Amino acid sequence: MAAIDLSALDSALDLLPDQYRGPGGVAGVVHEGRVIARRAWGHADMAARLPMTATRRMPICSISKQMTCALLLDLFGTPEALDPLLPDLLPNFEGPLPTVAQLCHNQSGLRDYWALTVLHGAAPEGRFTEQDGRTLLAQARSGHFAPGAQFSYCNGNFRLLAELIQRATGRDFGALLAERILRPAGMPSAQLAADMRDRVDQVIGYEGNDDVGFLPAESAITWFGDSGVVASLDDMLAWEAHIDASRADPAGLYSRISAPVTFADSTPAPYGYGLRRYSHAGHALTGHGGGVRGFCSFRLHVAAARLSVVVIFNHEASAMRAAEWLMTAALSASPAPAAEPGQGWDGLWYDHDNDLFLRTRDVPDGVRLHYAVSPATLRPVSATRAEGPGGLVLDRAGDTLRMTRRAENLTVSVSRLHPLLRAEAGDIVGRYWSDEIGTGLVIEARDGAASIGFDGMLGVGPMERMYPLARDLWVVTSRRAMDAAPPGEWTLRIRRTEDGAVAGLTLGCWLARAIPYHGPMAD
């Protein structure tokens, strides 16, 4: 059993509020079933001068997913028991449906419904009801890959699980979660609080940072299964102690949800049952993070060391990095290899398989890759190869870049693009429509600037800027959305006929890829 460096852990905890700046937060560590560290700092409400405490509940966001999966297994034994009920929730889906197990493992191929709210005209602070969630999920006609082939994070997978549990039992999901998971784990105050308008324990989440200041984050979404649980630090430390207490029981729920899973081709999958399996500083972990506007959380468990770490902020600094930092201090883990600057990696590339652009940049600590939801930094290991966390590898050869993403079971070859500083948008202005997701968009251009606006079942959304990347390729920036983190950058590719006329466009981001639109249409 690994020894714990209490002095180093205590020093790291002392530095946490300064290293991850914001209004307030909590952090705690459990070792061998006992709480060995517990901190709460800052304020739950800055205007009211309300202190943060270890008993105030905050949204744990996507950490809820593992609890949803644990409830499913506790009630039904296997995900397959619910497969017959899934077609009613996806009535418009064409082709083979995903299995319920593939929902649990984020292998369904379904596009993320929170990303799609942007295309449906949602205002960031707009209302999103329980029925809106069901309606939006039911519209799916296809996925962006075959079920079981790859990994793609999709909140809708877990909302579907919650709906299936309710339909199979005829009972309220929140009541079942409390009865079967939260109370047996010794979490007395944790509960489902699906409506984000409710200020549980008067805790306010904040947007912003130390440079621009912090403002209360407004959210009016309703969700459960994928998120929705609120818990105090004391509740979460009880969850970690419960995990340790059942560690030797192969039938224990955490043992079952952390067991190995595979893709359809039998390749090991690093994500399953709402848990990520990965390594950090030489230690094998299971864990998960979460974020909604104004809050960020992360929990991790090192089974071999019987160590767990929980961090929750009422702001949007990285709770994942903070939790990993505390784990590294507690276990006296080896520091990461010294960073090396990237050289010659700058480039703009196009992934034809997924209709997404990617950027690579030389940075002082390696190669920065912009492709998925968040940028990743890779370490150069040769003049033509760079490696990053989770089996992420870039191999370059002239104007071709081969990207391997082991965590997603994805390998693609991408081609170099010739960037444009300026492009005329005059012939692409107008209105477009997507039969695939039942939404419209409009492109406007004036005096060298192009903008785009989306509309659908949630209303008429704000205009967003779009910028040229290469010939007939644009990037649309989406920095604020109902969920956190927002989808970020969307790739917009113009489709043309043989004679050069605009035939339509394809729009997508990492969470919701390759959505076809036809147009432009006459007013």
Burial class (CB in 10 A: 0-12, 13-18, 19+), 249: exposed
Helix-, strand-, coil-residue percentages of the chain, each rounded to 5 = 25, 35, 40
First to last CA, the chain: 70
Rounded-to-integer distance, Cα 497 and Cα 503, Å: 6
What is the DSSP code (8-state) at residue 117?
A: H
Which one is catalytic: 65, 219, 434, 478? 65
What is the DSSP code (8-state) at residue 213?
A: E
Judge whether 468 and 422 are in contact, CB under 8 Å.
yes
Rounded-to-integer distance, Cα 34 and Cα 306, Å: 10
Please name the residues in contact with 238: beta carbons below 8 A apart, sequence gap of 6 or more.
185, 186, 187, 188
Q: Would you call 311 helix, strand, or coil by DSSP? A: strand
Q: Is 65 a residue of the active site?
A: yes
Which one is catalytic: 62, 108, 152, 232? 62
Nearest to 2 by CA among 28, 27, 31: 31
Q: Would you call 465 helix, strand, or coil by DSSP? A: strand
What is the DSSP code (8-state) at residue 404?
A: E
**Could you tell me how far CA 73 lies from the centroid of its own chain?**
23
> Strand pairing partners for 35?
30
Place of tokens 């809708």: 156
Rounded-to-integer distance, Cα 53 and Cα 232, Å: 8
Tokens of 100: 């319920």
What is the DSSP code (8-state) at residue 139?
A: T
Place of tokens 């929730």: 89
Pairing of strands 347-351, 307-313: unpaired
Q: Would you call 402 helix, strand, or coil by DSSP? A: strand
Tokens of 81: 């028991």
Rounded-to-integer distance, Cα 30 and Cα 307, Å: 6
Rounded-to-integer distance, Cα 102 and Cα 147, Å: 7
Q: Is 189 a residue of the active site?
A: no
Rounded-to-integer distance, Cα 246 and Cα 223, Å: 29
List the catalytic residues: 62, 65
